[in-house]
A = this chain, B = another copy of it.
């Protein structure tokens, strides 16, 4: 048995894989594979409508917000967000809390003035900056809610005098949020929503159409809203697997229940990191992520041996990102407490052997 701690694309529920596999052979008694149905067919219309309805229900998305399924990942949104929200002569404010946050503001600089309100780069992004001031004259304030590489997460939405744009790629659907606190939320699906290849955008309609830019149609949120995410051929299968995953999430009790489980999973692992004399966390305690647990060894020379043990135990994706080193356990929604316990057991055994 494998325990998939990969940072993304990542584990999804086994039930989802089973149904996703079946639909490749035959989708919903159509006599066709899901891969060969038209995106304009009634069968697929039903898929995209239910997917949207489930996102709306699970996240309590209020009226006045549109839900889109696009392509290109969060990296594409780094450019598409300023195209749609940053006036030609305007300014945007960004929080620099990690590699992706930094890529986001650098892409935005190609569209106008960017003010970085705070950065933790000098500390290798081990914490999330606080007590920064958001300029009231900027078009929007952008931040990354979970920093996948550094294992930090911002649980409290900053108070902001201007609309907030948030990259929630690695923690969306893992905990309760108040969508009305945001002007725009985007997320690559490949953590808690579905497989790689689709990007969720939730946008407040009345923020659009105010930049004075002549936006290419394919990058204009309004075109996608009008067309209900069918402006052009969407990533049919990635949306379908997201639907299966959202159904799974709803059936198990929705965000409230998954957040409860995620808190237990993260606490179990962080407790062991704190207790175990061989390991130590890399992120500031108050900013520790519930999705990506980053840790190293007090004695770095032992890290290779622990990775070998991890492989023997069927742990996948545990090696830390090169920017941090050591280990990163990504413990997304579909990862079970059984996998957490297996990791904790391995850490304890390793500590005993190397005491």
Contacts and interface: CB of A to CB of B under 8 A. Distances in A.
A20 B35 contact: yes
Interface string A63-81: 0000000011111101100
A212 to B, nearest CB: 13
A214 interface: yes
A197 B237 contact: yes
A306 to B, nearest CB: 19
Copies of this chain, how many? 2
A317 B71 CA distance: 25
A157 interface: no
A319 to B, nearest CB: 10
A25 interface: yes
Among A7, A188, A195, find the residue whose CB has the most chain B CB atoms closer than 10 A.
Answer: A195
Interface of A: 1-2, 4, 6-12, 17-18, 20-22, 24-25, 30-33, 35-39, 71-76, 78-79, 103, 106-107, 110, 188, 190, 195-198, 214-219, 231-238, 241, 314, 316-317
24 contacts: A2-B30, A8-B233, A9-B36, A9-B236, A12-B33, A17-B35, A21-B24, A38-B317, A39-B196, A71-B72, A71-B235, A72-B72, A72-B76, A74-B232, A79-B217, A79-B218, A195-B236, A196-B236, A196-B237, A197-B198, A197-B236, A197-B237, A237-B237, A237-B238
